[in-house]
Structure 1
Amino acid sequence: MKQFLFCILIMLIGKTCALIPKTYEARFISITSNGTNLFDLSQIRFLGRERMANGTFELKEDLDNESLSFVGETFIDSVGDGEYKQLPFAAPKQSICTALKAYWSYFESSLKYGVNTDFPGHTHPCPIPKGIYYVKDVVLKNDNWPVIMPRGYLKAVGTFFKNDQYGGGLEIVIQISDLS
């Protein structure tokens, strides 16, 4: 009985925390890729005070579960001096389609198919089809992000492996700041 009540208490606390308003905003700083023959992000630019992502990106081949896997790590630079410290939030090595399905919810409010992108991430395709996709006026929306986030420059580093060999890297830097 105690275990049952404890489970109910935990669920209620979780639902209550979801109602707490977010006190931060996020904006793009940069996106870079390196050493990859899998994709090209060099045509994405950030415009305006809102740092809206605009441009195209290319997936150079179909990204399938059998040959491609992904690992993600996060780092924080709270004061902006370039000294990043690793955070305990990471994505373990997993197939690319599994990763897209697991983490798409963090991006779905920012990337709307048919509105500001033609990338079909919302359908969780597998394999992820090669092609050139656009992004237009994409701003970061933190609707599905944790209620509490560290402030400063957050760097997400993704490493891709093709047939268990290094296939390239992706680095996205965003700034988390208090709402003005």
Structure 2
Amino acid sequence: MKGILFCVLMSLIFKAYALLPKTYEGRFVSLTFNNTKVLDISQIKLLGRERVLNGTLELKEDLDESVVFAGETFIDSMGDGEYKQLPFTAPKQSICKALAAYWLYFEDSVKYGVNTDFPGHTHPCPIPKGKYYVKDVVIKPDKWPAMMPRGFVKAVGTVFKNDEVIGSAEIVAQITDLA
């Protein structure tokens, strides 16, 4: 009984802490895509001084439970290119479970019908093949953790099918204190 009460209490504390006002902002720095056999994201670019995300992505086939995603994060606080791994990771899991679990962190930045036609908000499974656009996407960290390391944060996501890498993406964002 004490264990259940402790878990519920910790969950409530975490949720309340996540609601604290953010003292930081983020902006895209770079995007790198590799080995895009099933997922063509080569047409997505960062544009302008504001570094907004624009372009199209194409899923060449439906992404079902057999497609697996894993992610890692790294920090370079000094901006010297010396990244150190952070404890924030996404363990290997089906792309459908990953979309359902992590969409919360992107939903303020990528809104269906506003700046994308990708139906991520519905957590479709399988994720339907097709071409999707993103337009003027900026980082909105409202649902990110209240405490975030400052500096250059690199997120590396890898997509597998039958234990073969079918695509990867590396996104670098700069996290700074609010002015």
Q: Given the two structures, how large is their TM-score scaled by the length of structure 2?
A: 0.91
State yes or no: 1:25 paired with 2:25. Answer: yes
- Which 10-residue stretch deviates more, 95-104 or 48-57? 48-57
Which amino acid in the other structure matches residue 156 of structure 1?
A
Closer, same or farther: CA 2–135 of 1 in aligned 2, 3 Å: closer
Aligned mates of 1:5, 1:169 — CA distance in 2:
40
Instruction: Report matched runs for 1:158-177 at 5 Å.
Output: 158-177=157-176
Give 1:2 deviation, angstroms. 7.2
Change over 3 Å in CA distance of 1:85–1:132 after alignment to 2: same
Q: Which runs of 5+ in 1 are unaligned?
A: none
Paired position in structure 1 for 2:146:
147
Flag the 1:5–1:42 CA change in 2: closer, same or farther, 3 A: closer
Work out whether residues 18 and 144 of structure 2, in 8 Å CA contact, stay in contact via their aligned partners in 1. no
CA distance in 2 between partners of 1:165 and 1:8 (Å): 39
Q: Compare 20-29 and 163-172 and name the one that shifted more.
A: 163-172
Could you say which residue in structure 1 is the equivalent of 2:135?
Answer: 136
Q: CA deviation at 1:99?
A: 0.5
Residues of 2 paired with 1:96 and 1:30: CA distance? 23
Q: Match for residue 88 of structure 2?
A: 89
Aligned residue in 2 for 1:98:
97
Moved more, 44-53 or 14-23: 14-23
Corresponding residue for residue 42 of structure 2: 42
- Indicate the larger mover: 142-151 or 7-16: 7-16
SS at match of 1:42: coil
Secondary structure of 2:141's aligned partner: coil
Aligned length: 179
CA separation of 1:3 and 1:178: change in aligned 2, threshold 3 A: same
The residue type paired with residue 57 of structure 2 is: F
Greater Cα offset, 124-133 or 161-170? 161-170
CA pair 71-4 structure 1, distance change in 2 beyond 3 A: closer
C-alpha distance in structure 1 between counterparts of 2:3 and 2:102, whole Å: 31
- 95 and 83 in structure 1: CA distance in 2 versus 1, 3 angstrom threshold: same
CA 1:36–1:20 in 2, change beyond 3 Å: closer, same or farther? same
Q: Which residue of 2 aligns with 1:57?
A: 57
CA contact (8 A) 2:115 2:135 kept: yes
What's the TM-score once normalised by structure 1's chain length? 0.90
Superposed CA RMSD? 2.0
Secondary structure of residue in 1 paired with 2:28? strand
**Partner Cα distance (2:171, 2:43) in 1:** 14
